[in-house]
Structures are given as C-alpha cells and as structure tokens.
Structure 1
Amino acid sequence: MTVPDPGFMIAYCEQTLPGMLTDVCEVPAELAHRIAVDVLRRAEALASLPTREQDVLIAPFVEEAFEQEPIDAPLDLKAKVALVVRNGLLDDAIRAGAPTYGVAAVLRYAAAPLSHLLGARLREPVGLAGTHPFMGLAGRFPRAWACLEALTDGFAEGGPRDLTLPASPVPGLPPLTDDDLLIRLRRAATGGAVLHVPALGRWSRDSRRLHGILEYLLAHGATILTTNYLFRPTDVWVRRGDLVSPGDTGLHDTRGLTGAHRTLAESITG
C-alpha cells in the first residue's frame, strides 16, 4: 500500500506547474509563479476541511469535470482538481486572455499529486493559519449551502431531493462585473423566473461569488436549470445515470431527466 505523500503536490506546484504554464499556456513567468502558489494554497485549504464540506464545495463543478483527464480518475477527484487548480488565479488568467489549449494537461498532471496531498492530510491533519477562499461559506450563504448539500446527496441516485431553505435575511445583489448576468438576476428577483445556464461554473468559478449568486436567486424564489441539475426553493434534481456534457445543446438530451426536471427542460428547449 502506497502511503500518500504531500511532497508530490508541493513538487508539482513548485516545479512542474510553473513550467507548464509558461511553455504550454504562454503565461508570463511571474504570473505562472503566482498561480502555482495560489494552487498550493487552495489545495491545502481544501485539505483542511472535513470531507463533507469538500464534497459540497465541488458539487457545482461536477458536471463540467467528469470529462477531464485522466478519464479513469474518480469523479470527485477530478472535481477537486477543477476547484483547486482551474478555478483560482488560473481562471483569472484565462479570462484575461491566456490560451486554454494547455489547461487540460495542467489538470491531468495535477490529479495524482492532489490525491496524495488530500490523503496525507486526512491521515495527519495540518492546521491552516489565516483565511482561505473556502472559509465560512456555509454561514454566509446558508441557502446556497443547503442547496448544494442536497445536490451532493442527490448524486448517488439522481432524481429529486427535498430542500428546506434556512431562514436568513434576504441578500442584495452579489458584486459582479457581468452586466448581462446582473440584469438576469434582477429580473429573477421580481417574479421567480427560470434561469438556464449550461453549467453553474459558467456564471462563476469563484466559490464565494457563485454561492452569492445562488443565495440571491434562492432567496427570491427563482428556479435554476443547468444541463444536469434543477434547483428550486423546495427541491433539487439531478440527472439519473450518466451526466451529459454541458453545452448549448446538452439540455436537448433528456436521458435521465424525470418528472418536473424533464418537463421544464423540454419547455426550455421547445
């Protein structure tokens, strides 16, 4: 039995990742170094959390991560790689114009080292000083956290899960720079609208920002439909069986959609 070694993740971040970012993704060396530091910080932050919290944090990104390489890696590990590596400063660099064609390799080579780090910290926890990107989300966004907990529980069998939203003050609009999304959020607040997005990560890969969006929409009675999920203030639905790759036509594939989930998807796609 191989003993998990956190040194693999440290070496990946200090040696492998900066070179891949500069050589393959054409990221300037200084930015590549900052991204690598950010990835290791995010990895240690995730590893410091209970397993249940880790599972809730990755839930929004599973439907985009399941096709990541290595194909035979566990789905939860691939989603954790997306959360730790793809969703931090690397995502900021991509939004700023960095090429995306090398990202698949970056994520592929991160899977084994991250698995070692998570396993090592599970065996011997290490205290994490200071704040981190995943801190306090359940308390600050209680509706969003409850929704994502129901989503986490729904992966096993698919179909519907009851959702009871906790009582909490109604939040204002989250801080966003996407004017189109802000308009859609304002409209949803006036009449419990249905918002369709191929995957939640298309709204934001930043966990705090995405929780803020979900908190706002759920507080205002909106319905959220993605390629594989349906969120309403009273229930959460997950596509049964294999997930479908998010995209403009993904929702047309109704395999595994049942009940209200299927009905709503068919009404959106015509």
Structure 2
Amino acid sequence: MLHLHADRLIELGDSEPTNTELAHLGTCAECERERQAYRALRGLAVAEGAQLSAPLTSWDALSTALKEEGLIARKPSPVLILTPPAIRAASRPAPRRRQASDWALRAAAALFFLAGGVVLGRGVPADDEPRAAVAQAAPAPAVRTDAPVGLASNFSGSFTSNAEALAALYRAQREYERAATFLMTNNPVGDETQPDVYRARLAALDNVMQASMTALEDAPADPVLNRYYIAAAGARESTLRQLQTSLPPGSRIDSF
C-alpha cells in the first residue's frame, strides 16, 4: 500500500485532507497514526507559545515581569532598600566554609551599595569652591545623635559572630539610606536638568552594572547582587529618558 508523503502528513497536522486523502487515512492506520502525532505535536507548540510573554527588550517590560514575580517593589523608591534576611538559628549552623562565603558575599554587596552611593551621590566637587561655600552657608539639618542600639559599641570593639557584624552592617546601611534620601530631597547643590549631570550619572551606573555582572559571574543566584543589578538597570533606563528630555529639540543620543 502506498502511504502519504511525510511532508503532506505534517501539513495535515493543521489542515483538512482532500477526499482522496481522507479515504486513505480511513484505511491506513499507519498514516492516520502519524497524522495524529503531528496534530498533537502542533497542539503542544501552540500551547507553549501561548505561555510565552513578549520579549523583554525594554526596562518597562522587564520591570513589569519582575513586579509580577515579586522581585521588585511595585512603588518606586528614591533609594534601594535592602531588607536583611532572617538570621539562621544557632542550632542549625551552616558549614564553616559556606557560612564564611555567604557572609563575605553579603558584606561585599552592602559595601558595594555604599560605594555606589558615593559615586552616584551629590557630593560637592573639590574644585567647585563657590558651590561649596553656598552649601556650607545653608542651615545644617538636624543630625540624629542616638545611634542604633549596639552599633556605636560594636564600632569601637570586636564582634562576637558574623551574624552580629552583619546585623550592624545592615543598621549602618539603613542610616546611610536615610541620609541619602535627605540629601536627594534637600541638597541645593547642582542643576539636575543639565545634560552633563545625566551623562556623568550614566557613566557611574555603567560602572555599577559592570561590577554587578562581574560579581554575578561568581554568584549568579545571589539575590542581593541580582537586586543591585536590577536596580542599576532601572536607574540607567530612567536616566536615559531624563537625558533625552534635557537635550534641545531634535537632538539625539549617539551613545549610552
């Protein structure tokens, strides 16, 4: 018995056979079985394609997907707030080598955040004396003098455990975030609408993203490092939009 060609059976996976082909399929179990197999395969492909989302080629699409997965907050904040993970109970200690590695990664990530804040902050340039004088003449904000419990004492002495040092590091980070938020809102120095300000910020963000990618090569699943990379990518996309709006009409960004 002659059988239908394989290419034709594939076409019949999503099309209707002719009367002659239909009569053949009614008498040839082998051809009918292959046709049904192709139809089932096509159904799986269609179902799989329906589950695929649009390609994440922009920060807007990427941030929407990350918000749905709960990886980033739905409301933007001026600074990245890093919530410390729950400290494991002493009765279930991790292996010494793994525990030291985990502590080192998190400590390095926190220090990296502080360093990135210095790069992206609004510090006064050393050669800009007139602006520095204006900043010094402004009324100084109230400074919080009550350090977090245990923080001041730990700075002057040694820590008894990695968990204690990490907790102190997170407290210091929160103080840094409060200060950065205040400066972002109240610092009179600098003109945020100047394109050069956005270009300098983009260059700094590129350095932050490159450092994050280098760190993620050694620890690709580390949630802290991933959050830094995602936050830097979002800030970069936002800064690009701000730079575009600050340029004269008709101007285009040739780099970045």
TM range (shorter): under 0.3
Greater helix content: 2
TM-score (norm 1): 0.21
Larger gyration radius, structure 1 or structure 2: 2
